[in-house]
A and B are shown apart, each in its own frame.
Chain A
Amino acid sequence: MSEKLMFVQGNEACVQGALYAGVDFFAGYPITPSTEIAELLAAKLPEKGGKFIQMEDEIASMCAIIGASLTGHKVMTATSGPGFSLKQEAIGYACMAEIPCVIVDVQRGGPSTGNPTHVSQGDINQARWGTHGDHGIIALTASNHQDVFRITVDAFNLAETYRTPVVLLFDEVIGHMRERLVVPEPGALPIVDRLRTSVPKDVDYHPYLPREDGRLPMSDFGGHHRYNVTGLFHDMWGFPSNNPSVVQELLRHLVDKIDTNVDVITRYKEHYLDDAEYILVSYGSSARSAIHLAKNRRQKGERLGVLELQSIWPFPAELVRARCADAKAVVVVEMNMGQVLTQVKAAVDHPNRVFLANRIDGKLITPSDIKGLLRVIQGKGV
């Protein structure tokens, strides 16, 4: 098998990435603008011996992938804002019980049922804090189909590595637009399979007893070992515990396993960033407009660059601080009321030099929208 050239929607690029990563179970409830993901996997998963289930609702879909993951499958679901809201309780369960899973949120306008067929990037904070209680979470994004493919593979790898839900935050423009995708040959990208226990049958297996390196090997549920899984704080057997030291240690672990690995998890791209006086920080489809503008202004001799974030959570604060240290101004380009802006302001040395270029009307922010705001920030007028 060699690499394959395709012309597809971003949603299909995500599906191709998931299949490449080895997804073999999908449960979902169709919702615009993510529907094509379910539609395509309904056709493709049975072909390779996987399972596709259209569940009765969004909550059940999330619960189904959690169960399937426990039994040893690589799992995914796909939704948009309203469904992402409904899934939050079960996402918290997956965080607590440390169950690998990938949740795609193709963002549309919110709150509530909002603006179904139009673009938004309003679920950034929901991906971080949509479920209650302290916890770590990973959220990734991409601005073109080749990167959607690769970041989807990464999402599965990170979910299996850290035993955590990973959120893919795409948006309507990326999901529906068609462009070139080259699916690499099998083996060209690394694929991570979960760490499974070496404890043999009929020997006690402690599902939450870390190895020396801190990792927790899994045993396929329903297989050799009987063990308990719960959303309550739990001991090494998986049984509920309110022992203060058990509670404290587990919560620390849930936060630290993600936050201390921020450097390993961080994904980003630099565009024209060397010597940039003005830096646009962006992600997803709005990054396409930022890159478009930077390319044009560079040709006119303006020192404008783009820092494109491909991992949003854990937020790469140190990266943003270092790259933006010498900028005269930093402009966060996003399609919400400043959700990443808040993070950038907290990260940089001079938060008063950080500005927002946004659009919240369901239309993709254009290069000239950004240019207009940049002119004002530069004190040049519109």
Chain B
Amino acid sequence: MKRVRLVFSGSGGQGVITAAIILAEAAVIIEGLNATQSQSYGAAARGGATRTDIIISEEEINFPGVTSPNILVCLTQEAYNQYAAVIRPGGLLLTDSRSVTTAKKTDAKHIGLPLYDTVMERIGKPIVYNITMLGALIGITDIVRPESVLAILKERIPPDFLAMNQRAFDLGLVLGAQYQCRL
């Protein structure tokens, strides 16, 4: 991996920005890579479409925006409709199969997973939805090692909630592991 550009999109409150920060932190703090994470501010932070751009690279990163992501994650139909067209040819599109119906074909590997339904069924708390999404992404790709994300979760999550987050991450890993997509 030389450079991966990711966009996580969904709606305000789903935790896509937190998931992006955790991923980028794992890359920088644990794996010694470079990463930038930026996000749209404004009304999107309180409902409406939310988007965060992440670049992970072995090299220095200058321009921090992602115009054409290798990996696009869409947790809502609105986010999918807005961003699906910009995905890099040959890239990966990860969606929640419960909330996103893919309309047109993109030149990308599309994986739709029942992320939300699995979280609600197995854990029952939507607050860890984003961590399951991150787990699925790490299960599918090899952007960072699962242990690196777990190490960051341990740092960031209050002790009482850590076990639930670890479970949510494992759920995602298992869901994602059936699809392998090395970028």
The reply to whether chain A is a binding partner of chain B is yes
Q: Type the 1/0 row for B34-68, where 1 means its CB is closer than 8 Å to any CB of A.
A: 11111101100000000000000000011111010
Q: In the bound complex, do residue B29 and residue A33 qualify as a contact, i.e. CB atoms below 8 Å apart? A: no
Interface residue stretch chosen among B7-15, B20-28, B170-178: B20-28
Q: How far is the CB of A370 from chain B (nearest CB, A)?
A: 10
Q: Identify which of residues 141-180 in chain B touch chain A, using a CB-to-CB cut-off of 8 Å.
A: none
Question: In the complex where A176-B38, A177-B38, A179-B34 touch, is A5 in contact with B29 (Cβ < 8 A)?
Answer: yes
Q: Type the 1/0 row for A23-34, where 1 means its CB is closer than 8 Å to any CB of B.
A: 000000000110
Please tell me which one of the listed residues B21, B41, B61 contacts residue A32 in the complex, with CB atoms under 8 A apart.
B41
Q: How far is the CB of B40 from chain A (nearest CB, A)?
A: 8
Please tell me which one of the listed residues A6, A32, A178 contacts residue B36 in the complex, with CB atoms under 8 A apart.
A178
Question: In the complex where A176-B38, A288-B62, A292-B62 touch, is A7 in contact with B67 (Cβ < 8 A)?
Answer: no
A252 within 8 Å of B by Cβ? Answer: no
User: A173 CA to B34 CA in the complex, in Å?
Assistant: 17
Q: How far is the CB of A259 from chain B (nearest CB, A)?
A: 33
Most chain B CB within a 10 A radius of its CB, from A5, A176, A178: A178
A375 within 8 Å of B by Cβ? Answer: no
Q: How far is the CB of B74 from chain A (nearest CB, A)?
A: 22
Q: How far is the CB of A98 from chain B (nearest CB, A)?
A: 38
Instruction: Tell me the count of chain B residues lying within 8 A, CB to CB, of chain A.
Output: 19
Q: How far is the CB of B41 from chain A (nearest CB, A)?
A: 4
Q: In the bound complex, do residue A179 and residue B63 qualify as a contact, i.e. CB atoms below 8 Å apart? A: no
Contacts of A356 in B (CB 8 A): none
Q: In the bound complex, do residue A179 and residue B35 qualify as a contact, i.e. CB atoms below 8 Å apart? A: yes
Contacts of A180 in B (CB 8 A): 28, 34-35
Q: In the bound complex, do residue B24 and residue A289 qualify as a contact, i.e. CB atoms below 8 Å apart? A: no
Question: In the complex where A177-B36, A180-B35, A366-B67 touch, is A7 in contact with B24 (Cβ < 8 A)?
Answer: yes
Instruction: Tell me the count of chain A residues lying within 8 A, CB to CB, of chain B.
Output: 24
User: A243 CA to B62 CA in the complex, in Å?
Assistant: 54
Question: In the complex where A117-B41, A178-B24 touch, is A292 in contact with B36 (Cβ < 8 A)?
Answer: no
Contacts of A366 in B (CB 8 A): 63, 65, 67
Q: Identify which of residues 63-81 in chain B touch chain A, using a CB-to-CB cut-off of 8 Å.
A: 63-65, 67
Contacts of B37 in A (CB 8 A): 177-179
A295 within 8 Å of B by Cβ? Answer: yes
Contacts of A7 in B (CB 8 A): 21, 24-25, 28-29, 35
Residue in chain B with minimal CB distance to A287: B62
Q: Identify which of residues 160-188 in chain A touch chain B, using a CB-to-CB cut-off of 8 Å.
A: 172-173, 176-180
Contacts of A292 in B (CB 8 A): 62-63
A364 within 8 Å of B by Cβ? Answer: yes
Q: In the bound complex, do residue B65 and residue A364 qualify as a contact, i.e. CB atoms below 8 Å apart? A: yes
Interface of A is mostly: mixed
Q: In the bound complex, do residue A367 and residue B63 qualify as a contact, i.e. CB atoms below 8 Å apart? A: yes
User: A32 CA to B42 CA in the complex, in Å?
Assistant: 10
Contacts of B64 in A (CB 8 A): 173, 177, 179, 288, 364
A291 within 8 Å of B by Cβ? Answer: yes
User: A5 CA to B29 CA in the complex, in Å?
Assistant: 7
Q: How far is the CB of A375 from chain B (nearest CB, A)?
A: 18
Residue in chain B with minimal CB distance to A174: B64
User: A176 CA to B36 CA in the complex, in Å?
Assistant: 11
Q: How far is the CB of B163 from chain A (nearest CB, A)?
A: 24
Q: In the bound complex, do residue A291 and residue B62 qualify as a contact, i.e. CB atoms below 8 Å apart? A: yes
Q: In the bound complex, do residue A5 and residue B63 qualify as a contact, i.e. CB atoms below 8 Å apart? A: no
Contacts of B38 in A (CB 8 A): 173, 176-178
Residue in chain B with minimal CB distance to A291: B62
User: A68 CA to B34 CA in the complex, in Å?
Assistant: 39
Most chain B CB within a 10 A radius of its CB, from A179, A364, A368: A179
Q: How far is the CB of A297 from chain B (nearest CB, A)?
A: 13
User: A368 CA to B65 CA in the complex, in Å?
Assistant: 12
Most chain A CB within a 10 A radius of its CB, from B21, B29, B38, B63: B63
Contacts of B34 in A (CB 8 A): 179-180
User: A177 CA to B42 CA in the complex, in Å?
Assistant: 15
Contacts of A5 in B (CB 8 A): 28-29
Q: How far is the CB of B5 from chain A (nearest CB, A)?
A: 13
Contacts of B62 in A (CB 8 A): 288-289, 291-292, 295
Contacts of B61 in A (CB 8 A): 179
Contacts of A6 in B (CB 8 A): 29
Question: In the complex where A7-B28, A291-B62 touch, is A33 in contact with B36 (Cβ < 8 A)?
Answer: no
Contacts of A291 in B (CB 8 A): 62
Contacts of B24 in A (CB 8 A): 7, 178
Q: How far is the CB of B3 from chain A (nearest CB, A)?
A: 12
Q: Type the 1/0 row for A205-245, where 1 means its CB is closer than 8 Å to any CB of B.
A: 00000000000000000000000000000000000000000
The contact sample of 8 A-B pairs, CB cut-off 8 A, is A7-B21, A117-B41, A177-B37, A177-B64, A180-B35, A288-B62, A288-B63, A295-B62
Query: Could you tell me which A residues sit within 8 Å of B by CB distance?
Result: 5-7, 32-33, 116-118, 172-173, 176-180, 288-289, 291-292, 295, 364, 366-368
The 5 closest A-B pairs by CB, nearest first: A117-B41, A292-B62, A292-B63, A178-B37, A117-B42
Given contacts A178-B24, A180-B34, 15 further A-B contacts (CB under 8 A): A5-B28, A7-B24, A118-B41, A173-B64, A176-B41, A178-B37, A178-B38, A179-B61, A288-B64, A289-B62, A291-B62, A295-B62, A366-B65, A366-B67, A367-B63
